[in-house]
Amino acid sequence: MNQLKQIHAHTLRNGIDNTKFLIVKLLEIPNISYAQSLFDLIPKPTTFLYNKFIQAYSSHGPPQQCFCLYSQMLIHGCPPNPYSFTFLFAACASLSSPKHGQKLHTQFLKLGFEYDSHALTALIDMYAKCCLLSFARKVFDEMLDRDLPAWNSIITGYTRSGDLVGARELFESMPLRNVVSWTAIISGYSQNGMYTDALQMFLRMEEEKGVRPNEVTISSVLPACANLGALEIGERIEIFVRKKGFLRNLFVSNALLEMYAKCGRIDMAKRLFDETGSGRNLCTWNSMIMGLAVHGRDKEGLELFHEMVMGGTAPDDITFVGVLLACTHGGLVKQGWQLFESMEKYFSITPKLEHYSCMVDLLGRAGKLNEAHDLINRMPMKPDAVVWGALFGACSFYGHVELAEKAANSLLELEPRNPGIYVILSNVYASVGRWDGVAQARKLMKGMQITKAAGYSFIEVDGSINKFIVEDRSHPSSAEIYSVLDEVSTKMKLLGSPEELHIEIENCAC
């Protein structure tokens, strides 16, 4: 920066015009205000310089300035070119301003630029980001030369809108794919909770020649591993990450930490947390606190929270979900209340539904059912199914019929076709011998033709995820699986009591 100021001073002293060079270099830094002051001194700026400023404001803001510059171009008779529109469409996307975008689109066509693939790709992206996917698809379909960026842009638009079927159809019809294409479909599945599909696409990508995942791909697939419990694949990804030096990327290291925490390998998560050191951000702290909390290591989770605050990192609402969960799992009612009340008092964070849900769960598990119900009645917002579900679960555990009925009625208003509510209410009645209530709950369930969905389990074997439901025979190796299961069952019966089985296991371990 100092060198550029020296060059500027030299040009002024010697009457040399290096303005264009200086502006370009200043925008690269970027020091837009300084560059703008030089630009304003130019009597007739070129299209090149206008484009440079439109690009800078589009990337660094404020994007509204792009439209002011475009208006200046037209007033001063400086003709825009396709690059002008590429950056202007990007500015519209940043502002989610479809009206501006449509007006510019009209001018773009009038000027005869409809064959420029770069500008058209920016236009597709703009329409997709402005939730006008049909407009984006029309532009894409009318393109004569659809290059890779255009394909990637429309696929990303479909995934962003949640239309994964449409995105997959486009993906499969691509003449050529690169890492951006694969990442778009993998991240789309992952962000929309379709973790099995995300993982399958990643494994398929690994078999593709000439394509290797980048940091964004890894950050997208690791949440799928975390939610499916695909530890073996996650461990294999870590080896690849370390080999490529991707661990320096905080998004990657945080995703890897969260994967280990969710897969139950808190030791590995803690190792990564310690390895990140001073590079930690709030997401790193939150993932580690949450991981410790859900695995019953409440004391460590709370200690980490205090270490974070003392170190100068301000918590957010996600942090407090983690610490309140730690209190819930540790049965720390007093500490939970203190943390809950400190949110607004010391950190100016207004408690949300999830914080009230944690508190209701904490009080409910501790047997303080009336206190939990009182808290629900004092909530500043309408309680959702999670809040009532926490109370309902606690009432079921402690056999509190009256509150269980209140919670069930509130839940049925929110989720009338949730079979779990009827089943749990029936169990509550059964636990206190209220057989008339059991019959009534089952009658209601039958009358509304509600059936309970079969539970299922995932198991990872040799890097492949297998899904099983009760008495499932869809697996290609089901004959061998049931043969082994029968053998195990027979041996257990021969061993007799659980005590004898425990002794046998200990002998095997020795």
Q: How many helices (H) and strands (E) does the chain have?
A: 29, 2
Count of CB atoms situated within 10 Å of the CB of 31: 15
Q: What residues form DSSP beta bridges with 460?
A: 465
CA distances from 168 to 156, 223, 327, 403 (A): 11, 20, 43, 47
CA dihedral 359, 362, 364, 365 (to 10 degrees): 170
- pTM for this entry: 0.80
Distance CA 180, CA 151 (A): 10
Would you tell me the crossing angle of helices 179-191 and 164-172 to the nearest 10 degrees? 160
Cis peptide, bond prior to residue 30, ω within 30 of zero: yes
Per this entry, what is the length of the chain? 510
Would you tell me the crossing angle of helices 148-161 and 117-129 to the nearest 10 degrees? 0
The pLDDT value given to residue 344: 95
The pLDDT value given to residue 15: 47
Residue 153 Cα to chain centre, angstroms: 20
Cβ-contact 102, 126 below 8 angstroms: no
Q: Which of 100, 97, 102, 145 is nearest to 121 (CA)?
A: 145
For residue 448, what are its two tokens? Answer: 């509304």
Cβ-contact 406, 395 below 8 angstroms: no
Q: What is the pLDDT along the chain (510 residues), one digit of tens a residue?
A: 465 555 445 454 444 446 788 888 888 888 898 899 889 888 899 999 999 999 999 999 899 999 999 999 999 999 999 999 999 999 999 999 899 999 999 999 999 999 999 999 999 999 999 999 999 999 999 999 899 999 999 999 999 999 999 999 999 999 999 999 999 999 999 999 999 999 999 999 999 988 999 999 999 999 999 999 999 999 999 999 999 999 999 999 999 999 999 999 999 999 999 999 889 999 999 999 999 999 999 999 999 999 999 999 999 999 999 999 999 999 999 999 999 999 999 999 999 999 999 999 999 999 999 999 999 999 999 999 999 999 999 999 998 999 999 999 999 999 888 888 888 888 888 888 888 888 888 887 776 666 665 566 767 666 667 777 766 777 777 788 888 888 888 877 776 555 555 555 555 544
3-state SS assignment for residue 412: helix
Tell me which H or E stretch contains 467.
strand 464-469
Specify the DSSP class assigned to residue 457.
Answer: E
3-state SS assignment for residue 315: coil
Cβ-contact 306, 272 below 8 angstroms: no
The pLDDT value given to residue 499: 52
**In b/e form, how buried is each residue of 335-349, taking b as 16+ CB within 10 angstroms?**
bbbebbeebeeeeeb
Cβ-contact 317, 294 below 8 angstroms: no
3-state SS assignment for residue 396: helix
Burial class (CB in 10 A: 0-12, 13-18, 19+), 230: buried
Tell me which H or E stretch contains 458.
strand 456-461
Distance CA 188, CA 408 (A): 36
Count of CB atoms situated within 10 Å of the CB of 498: 9
Q: What residues form DSSP beta bridges with 474?
A: none
**In b/e form, how buried is each residue of 252-262, taking b as 16+ CB within 10 angstroms?**
bbbbbbbbbbb
For residue 44, what are its two tokens? Answer: 């007739």
